[in-house]
Amino acid sequence: MDSFIIGVDLDGVVGDFYGAMRNIAAEWLGRPVESLTPRVSFGLEEWGIAEYGGYERLHRFAVTQRNLFLDMEPVRDAPAVLRKLSSRGIRIRIITHRLFLKYSHRASITQTVDWLDKYDIPYWDLCFMNDKDAVGAHVYIDDTPDNIQRLRQRGCRTIVFTNSTNLGISGPRADTWQQAEQLIMEAREEWTTGTLGLFGAADYSGWDSGA
């Protein structure tokens, strides 16, 4: 029997991307960290980075000079819950868009792989992709509004992992990894039994993972 596949985003879902970036941005901007609101939107414009060169410049500094992807903390309980899901036979397919910036790919990839090992995060597949639905999964978990909306438009069942960037997006939604675990187990149950409840038959057609 085929495995149930979850497509797992990293930044803002498994790794505390915004917490790590906040510390690095404070140094980069020469400001106390408390002056940077933790309630950011995607792109971090609340921190006033535009006049210092903008997001891409901060991102490059964070990855190449401060090991962003190696040093960030995991989101609470994410590694442990992923280990539980994996031990139940669920296939974890990590899908991340960390290569969006040129000339820092080696650092991005090596830091990512080392970080996944450092926190004993299990995975079968590691996909560096923007077009997340192209690799296929039975259910996705992501935090970025554009990704979630694009996945859903293409018929992919997608769980929102809550942070300040996505509060306006409709559910299914997980505020914690315990809630994510429950939603993922419900989705697998629907897949196993051929029923549709959590995501509704009206919005999604079939269970083809595209894999």
| Interface ranges with Mg ion (CB under 5 A) | 9, 11-12, 143-144
Tell me whether residue 11 or residue 181 sits nearer to Mg ion (CB atom).
Answer: 11
Cα 84 to Cα 177: distance, rounded to the nearest angstrom: 11
Tell me whether residue 161 or residue 191 sits nearer to Mg ion (CB atom).
Answer: 161
The count of residues in the chain is 211
Tell me whether residue 96 or residue 190 sits nearer to Mg ion (CB atom).
Answer: 96
Cis bond upstream, residue 172 (ω within 30): yes
DSSP string, 54-89: -HHHHHHHHHHHH-HHHHPPBPTTHHHHHHHHHHTT
Residue 141: phi and psi, rounded to 5, are -130, 125
Q: Rounded to the nearest whole angstrom, what is the least distance from the CB of residue 103 to Mg ion in the complex?
A: 22
Q: Give catalytic residue positions.
A: 9, 11
